[in-house]
Amino acid sequence: MAGSGEESKKLQLYSYWRSSCAFRVRIALNLKGLEYEYKAVNLLKGEQRDPEYLKLNPLGYVPTLVNGDAVIADSFAIIMYLEEKYPQRALLPQDLQKRAINYQNYSFAQVLGIGIHLANLPCFPFLQAANIVAANIQPLQNLAVLKYIQEKVGPNETTPWVQTHIRKGFEALEKLLKDYAGKYATGDEVYVADLFLAPQIHAAIKRFEIDMNQFPTLLRVYEAYQELPAFQDAVPEKQPDATG
């Protein structure tokens, strides 16, 4: 029966310690105070392509959230699911008009299949910032993409490739957020944009050697995340499957 036992079972998060997409969801779970069982999927060993795992996540990616009979296989969808189901510690602004503008921006970009053109849209940044990370930076640094570049272009080409796309995305984010940022990306409250920015900046610094001094707004909000336990408990290095 759909939904049976959902409330009595612990949430399960299929995750990989270094996955920035899973990192977003770990922050959301921590902010909302939700306990979960950590199910490690080793991306380097190809466990994301295991037939049993593909039944949960047909694209073979992490994260996947399982809540009883509910299976959600995309970080953004998971965060929106958590937001609806567990409204405590809201991740979107309460003002419905602001939310509507957020969704308008997000769906417009999705329909066109492109990143959002900053100049053409109402400049409301919550989902716009999340979408720049989710659509225009992270997919270009995915393991499958890097493996392809390594094999087809050359073994030393992956880092410059990732750096180029992180810098391009961060330049857009810097312009977008400089007028909105407060202590955090879109003001003095943590919202969904922060859940996407923190893992991407973390990866930029720790893995891809990006000099964040070029991006003062992003650097400032990243420093503010260092004080938040929900963010710090979610960092890759603290996960049970972390290796290095």
- Minimum CB separation from ligand GSH for residue 188, in Å? 27
Given the rule CB under 6 A, which of 74-82, 85-93, 107-115, 180-188 is the region that contacts ligand GSH?
74-82
Rule CB under 6 A: which of 126-145 touch ligand GSH? 134, 142-144
Beta carbon nearer to ligand GSH, 4 or 144: 144
With contact defined as beta carbons under 8 Å apart, do 23 and 235 qualify? yes
Beta carbon nearer to ligand GSH, 64 or 217: 64
Q: Does 21 bind ligand GSH (CB under 6 A)?
A: yes
Given the rule CB under 6 A, which of 68-76, 82-90, 106-114, 173-181 is the region that contacts ligand GSH?
68-76
Omega before residue 63 within 30° of 0, cis = yes
User: In degrees to the nearest 10, what's the CA dihedral of 231, 106, 132, 179?
Assistant: -80
Q: Where on the phi/psi map is residue 208: left (φ > 0), alpha (ψ -120 to 50), or beta? A: alpha
Helix (H, G, I), strand (E, B) or coil at 94: coil
Taken in order 50, 51, 57, 58, the sign of the CA dihedral is positive
| Residue among 15, 30, 48, 105 that touches ligand GSH (CB under 6 A) | 48
Taking the C-alpha atoms of residue 177 and residue 217, their distance in angstroms, rounded to an integer, is 7
Q: What contacts 131, CB < 8 A, 6 or more positions away? A: 105, 106, 109, 115, 116
| Residue among 14, 17, 53, 61 that touches ligand GSH (CB under 6 A) | 61
What are the CA-CA distances from residue 60 to residues 17, 74, 149, 225 (Å)?
16, 11, 19, 30
- Minimum CB separation from ligand GSH for residue 113, in Å? 14
Element (H, E) at 77: helix 75-85
- Minimum CB separation from ligand GSH for residue 64, in Å? 8
- Minimum CB separation from ligand GSH for residue 174, in Å? 22
Beta carbon nearer to ligand GSH, 21 or 56: 21
Q: Does 62 bind ligand GSH (CB under 6 A)?
A: yes
Residues forming contacts to ligand GSH in the complex (CB under 6 A) are: 19-21, 43, 48, 61-63, 74-76, 134, 142-144
